[in-house]
Chains A and B, each alone.
Chain A
């Protein structure tokens, strides 16, 4: 086991809630409000953790186990994604396709839990989440494929090394990958213009919908999982598609900067953009998919290395 890298990955488990916290805090500033501290998600988690478990009538095993399964999925995802090009190898490997599967599993479990209780808003949100996921997961797969073509493998450590330095930026395909992955980050983190994490309007919810019925420690696990999803896709974005150096230590410093930059970008987008009309989301994602497909063809044909 690579101890420093393993430690760096464990930081992700702890630091993940800081990312949505930072986005919220920046958003408030941009909107002229004082806003919460970036540490607010930790306070929320602590508060929720102390509360009792309240479950709706008719909640069965799927509903009860879902938060733990979702959190476990995201824990695995955090362990799979290498930090600054290195990974602790917790016996899970660092394969891109495994990551894809784990992310999909957590989404499926959330939807299954909504199905079990039959809450209208939960089902509505789950249905929307799955509708959006069909296209977003395809886009994520395509962008990972694009990176894999350059790295000749699906090991994320390898892909991180391939994306390091300035050389990849001479290829148009890499720029396309950046564009598409930006959209993946927006969708996977449930941010505007695709989803509105701040809304109290049940009718408009996507990701928040299935979470409505959860309370206490269950909700804490789900909220941590949502934060971990921020960590996973943003670290992945920084490692694969944003400019970063090759070394480990300098890579860690760069990663911190890149995460902060992504949080800022998300805060700016969320302040300046209204949420999209629901049925337009697949169109936008589809457009990005076409761009990536074109890039894959270019790369596969070897037009530019």
Chain B
């Protein structure tokens, strides 16, 4: 059960400061409720609590204490007209004003000019606009403008039953379908006092790791594509496709859509299917390992990644970076560790082969994590996955919190139930948390290296366009 602590609005800053500096808690997102409460999630390991204040029209900004809250405050301003004292130049995030000065950071100096890329790209890429401030080929600063396809999913879910709400959360993004659905399911179960049975925990863990496997394979392929290393791109794209075909055979969908249900399992995986999936994964694992060994000897590939797009550990902590990007910088944040709603007792998190925070580190870490996921799946799929339900018996939380480690990092879903229906849904995916880190890691690098840096994070746009 998640604690909810309401504080006075003028104590907001001091409370947050105490949580971060004295209690060693980490900021995990903030949101506005229908009755204009401004709430923040504070996490420490597997524990989480919510702190709340009655905001009204304005509230003190915490962006100087917690830079990771920058986007949350800008979003609250754009969507809920909440103002923040002390957040100067509260630049537009979701709103897209025509005046450049309302969202572009002013960068001046000799020979400084802007390069605009997107929102329409030449490849199969979602809508996002990047405004580079450069001198020659050197990036000084990057302003990102995403949220082009805001769908109002969070608002659309209000008033729906917890089961219907899953349709909104689960369809936010294709590549994170399981993570988003599961975060939502956990949030609802937290809010209604449900606890998953061991079989359900196992099945959900399998789904989450299947999603991680195909995403990590895709990311390795994408990084190779970023430097034009065709052999690696094609090999790992083929592996990714095989992984997705295994998903489809076992759970009926290549992106695992519809595989998660609230309060139970969406479908069972009988013994023959589980054995088939396990066999297919073992075969894939061998081939992936062989391809990875070949990549390790591709000198021209590694020459491009070393010391490029560096995200130092200090910056990762400050910006609230999560997932492989944080771990590759030496910040050991993993929502799987200690997660009791899932079956991660056997998890031995991969040690970052080189925690330098550059593209090479993120590349290497993904391969190491693939091995861990394959190992976990092999263990979890020894037995069939029967359909199983969550059991009642816990105290319901006033605010339901679901935290799930998606392939990109910790995805947080908040569900507040009112009379059995969704009163507030908030989805803060790992991509949302990590976009500011992409901009930070790009500064100081060469413009033609940006696609590579961007792909080494491989964040979703759709996860933000919710």
Q: Name A residues whose Cβ lies closer than 8 Å to a Cβ of B.
A: 27, 30-33, 120, 124, 128, 192-193, 196, 198-204, 270-279
Contact = CB atoms under 8 A, between A and B. Distances in A.
B34 interface: no
B447 interface: yes
A204 B115 contact: no
B298 interface: yes
13 contacts: A27-B230, A30-B231, A31-B233, A201-B451, A203-B117, A203-B450, A204-B228, A204-B451, A271-B230, A274-B228, A274-B303, A276-B303, A277-B446
B170 to A, nearest CB: 30
Given A31-B230, A270-B230, A200 B122 contact: yes
Given A204-B448, A278-B137, 12 more contacts: A120-B116, A124-B115, A192-B228, A203-B117, A203-B448, A273-B229, A273-B300, A274-B227, A274-B304, A275-B228, A276-B303, A277-B446
B339 interface: no
Which 4 residue pairs are nearest across A and B when measured between Cβ atoms?
A274-B229, A196-B228, A200-B123, A275-B228
A272 B229 CA distance: 7
Given A201-B123, A275-B227, A124 B234 contact: no
A26 B150 CA distance: 43
B20 interface: no
Contacts of A274: 224, 227-229, 298, 300-301, 303-304
A120 B300 CA distance: 28
A33 B300 CA distance: 22
B274 interface: no
B378 interface: no
B371 interface: no
Interface size class of B (residues with CB under 8 A): 20 to 34
A134 to B, nearest CB: 15
Contacts of A120: 115-116
A271 to B, nearest CB: 5
Contacts, number: 75
Contacts of B298: 272, 274
Contacts of B446: 277-279
Contacts of B121: 200, 202
B350 interface: no
Nearest to B123: A200
Q: Which of B227, B235, B301, B447 has the most CB atoms of chain A within a 10 A radius of its CB?
A: B227
Given A120-B115, A192-B228, A203-B448, A32 B123 contact: no
Nearest to A208: B122
B449 A277 contact: yes
Interface of B is mostly: helix
Interface of B: 115-117, 121-123, 137, 224, 226-231, 233-235, 238, 298, 300-301, 303-304, 446-451
B228 A202 contact: no
A8 to B, nearest CB: 34
Given A199-B228, A271-B230, A278 B448 contact: yes
Nearest to B233: A31
Contacts of A204: 228, 448, 451
Given A196-B228, A274-B298, A33 B234 contact: yes
B314 to A, nearest CB: 26
A203 B447 CA distance: 6
A277 B116 contact: no
A199 B137 CA distance: 18
B230 A277 contact: no
A275 B304 contact: yes
A128 B229 CA distance: 21
A196 B304 CA distance: 14
Nearest to B136: A127
A3 B6 CA distance: 94
A280 B238 CA distance: 31
B138 to A, nearest CB: 10
A63 B75 CA distance: 44
Contacts of B123: 200-201
Nearest to B114: A120
B304 A31 contact: no
B234 A31 contact: yes
Contacts of B450: 203
Nearest to B139: A203
Nearest to A32: B234
A11 B226 CA distance: 37
Contacts of A279: 137, 446
A31 B231 contact: yes
Contacts of B115: 120, 124, 203
A120 B132 CA distance: 11
A155 B224 CA distance: 44
A272 B228 contact: no
A271 B451 contact: no
Contacts of A275: 227-229, 304
Contacts of A272: 231, 298, 300
A270 B231 CA distance: 9
B226 to A, nearest CB: 8
A199 B225 CA distance: 9
A204 B450 CA distance: 8
Given A199-B228, A200-B122, A203-B447, A276 B300 contact: yes
A141 B234 CA distance: 38
Contacts of B449: 277
A32 B236 CA distance: 12
B318 to A, nearest CB: 27
A271 B231 contact: yes
A278 B447 CA distance: 10
A93 B238 CA distance: 52
A202 B120 CA distance: 11
Contacts of B116: 120
A201 B124 CA distance: 11
A264 to B, nearest CB: 15
Contact of B122 (A27, A192, A202, A273): A202
B371 to A, nearest CB: 24
Contacts of B224: 274
A271 B233 CA distance: 10
B443 to A, nearest CB: 15
Given A124-B115, A201-B451, A278-B137, A193 B230 contact: no
Contacts of A277: 303-304, 446, 449
A284 to B, nearest CB: 11
A46 to B, nearest CB: 22
B451 A203 contact: yes
Contact of A32 (B117, B137, B227, B238): B238
B117 A202 contact: yes
Contacts of A32: 234-235, 238
Nearest to A201: B451
B300 A193 contact: yes
Contacts of B300: 193, 272-274, 276
Contacts of A196: 228
